[in-house]
Structure 1
Amino acid sequence: MKEAFFWRWLFFIVGIIILSLGISLTIKGQIVGVGSWDVLHIGLAQSIGLTIGIWSIIIGVAIIAFDSILNKRWPLVGTVLDMLLAGIFIDIFNFLIPTFNSVWMQFFAFVSGFFLLGIGCGMYIVANLGAGPRDMLMLFIVHRFNWSVTFARTTMEVSVALLGFLLGGPVGIGTVLMALCLGPIVQFAIKWNEKIFTRLSGVESTILKAK
């Protein structure tokens, strides 16, 4: 039991760090485009102020409040930690990673960040300590409407990208790719990380039955 507890927290923390690194890399490669949620965060940061990480936290608080009111339940500790840690790590990585002037370097940053984002997302979800606000919303849609992870994530990403665009956030071909392709990557990452987690901890993790 203690060993499983250790692996859950390890998957959770490492997953959030990888996720945050992936987000920051896509932001550094924004000549290609940024993720749907970051279109919104960047648009808010440019028009109102504050950092991208802070806006990530603010939007997360709004989603958690919506879920708590709708389902009449308190958020899990992991959900709150994810919201705070992701926002903090995004700002840290945005500060540490230099700005790339080369188009090829920005392209490489975007592609690598894209895959790291999906892998980190699947990794911390498998820990089952509480999904982050955006993934909690995704899982809510999956279970409420009986949609696949791919369809739920894609629908959510497209909707948020459109809202961010209307608020003045940067949209590019990368935004479209992330909106359409992030769902399948997350679905694959969940299945892959479930197998690794089960092998390491000896406890089966079935946060959802990916379709």
Structure 2
Amino acid sequence: MLPRRLLQLLLGLTLYGVSLALMLRANLGLDPWDVFHQGLARHLGWSIGTVVNVMGAVVLLLWWPIRQRPGLGTVLNVLVVGSVVDVTLSLLPPASSLTERIILLPCGVLLNAVATAAYIGARLGPGPRDGLMTGLVRRTGRPVRVVRTAIELSVLAAGWLLGGSVGVGTVAYALLIGPLVQPLLPLFAVPETSPIPQEA
């Protein structure tokens, strides 16, 4: 079962990176964390993939005071997602028309939902940003929606001030990602234990 979980995790993280690259090429607005990543990348002169990976490591350091423990999936998230973003951007040219951008955006959001369900369903540890949220929920006793909203509004505001791309894609992601991921999760969730084979 572990090889299947590891393969699913790696596939999910890879697709997550590709989905982010599609949304970047659409240039119609990003999800809150990636607005922040893009804004930082513009000021630091780094590739956005490098910023995604470095910020994943920084956020992971914030787990220590809230006593959140990383898993293999957490570590691989820090290493894989940003690297895939940069590779995909190097292979995928900028959109040449508004029509292409409009096509890229929903493809990116849908692929992001599939990727999210895949890596969460592998049960090998949350991503650094998701783990920060769940750790804060546990430590503060606040509802998930309050903690998540506070974190995402904070990084969105910071990213916007840094020049990150906020637009219709940001709104579309906020409205659609939850409803898309929810029905996909049961399809990708790896069972806690393997079923006992039945004799013929």
TM-score (norm 2): 0.85
* Contact 1:19 1:121 (C-alpha < 8 Å) held by counterparts: yes
* Whole-Å separation in 2 of the counterparts to 1:179 and 1:137: 19
| Aligned equivalent of 1:163 | 158
Cα separation, partners in 2 of 1:142 and 1:112, compared to 1, 3 Å: farther
* Whole-Å separation in 2 of the counterparts to 1:14 and 1:51: 22
Aligned-pair CA distance for 1:142: 5.6
| Aligned equivalent of 2:34 | 38
Amino acid at match of 1:118: A
Gaps of 5+ in 1: 204-211
Give the total of aligned pairs: 194
* Whole-Å separation in 1 of the counterparts to 2:133 and 2:183: 15
Aligned-pair CA distance for 1:140: 3.1
Cα separation, partners in 2 of 1:187 and 1:78, compared to 1, 3 Å: same
* Contact 1:12 1:127 (C-alpha < 8 Å) held by counterparts: yes
Aligned-pair CA distance for 1:105: 0.7
| Aligned equivalent of 1:8 | 5
Residue 124, structure 1, aligned to residue 139, structure 2: no
For the residue of structure 1 that corresponds to 2:19, the secondary structure is: helix
* Whole-Å separation in 2 of the counterparts to 1:157 and 1:137: 12
* Contact 2:41 2:47 (C-alpha < 8 Å) held by counterparts: yes
* Contact 1:154 1:181 (C-alpha < 8 Å) held by counterparts: no
Q: Deviations over 1:135-159 (max 9, x none)?
A: 22243356554746x7765554343
Aligned-pair CA distance for 1:188: 2.9
Amino acid at match of 1:96: L
Residue 68, structure 1, aligned to residue 64, structure 2: yes
After superposition, residues 40-189 of structure 1 pair within 5 angstroms as: 40-71=36-67, 75-140=70-135, 145=141, 147=143, 156-189=151-184
* Whole-Å separation in 2 of the counterparts to 1:8 and 1:45: 32
Percent pairwise identity: 33
* Contact 2:9 2:122 (C-alpha < 8 Å) held by counterparts: yes
| Aligned equivalent of 1:192 | 187
Larger Cα Rg: Structure 1 or Structure 2?
A: 2
Amino acid at match of 1:116: L
* Contact 2:70 2:126 (C-alpha < 8 Å) held by counterparts: no
CA RMSD of aligned residues (A): 2.4
* Contact 2:66 2:136 (C-alpha < 8 Å) held by counterparts: no
Residue 22, structure 1, aligned to residue 19, structure 2: yes
Cα separation, partners in 2 of 1:160 and 1:188, compared to 1, 3 Å: farther
Q: Deviations over 1:117-171 (max 9, x none)?
A: 11101111111111111222243356554746x7765554343222211222121
For the residue of structure 2 that corresponds to 1:171, the secondary structure is: coil
Gaps of 5+ in 2: 196-200
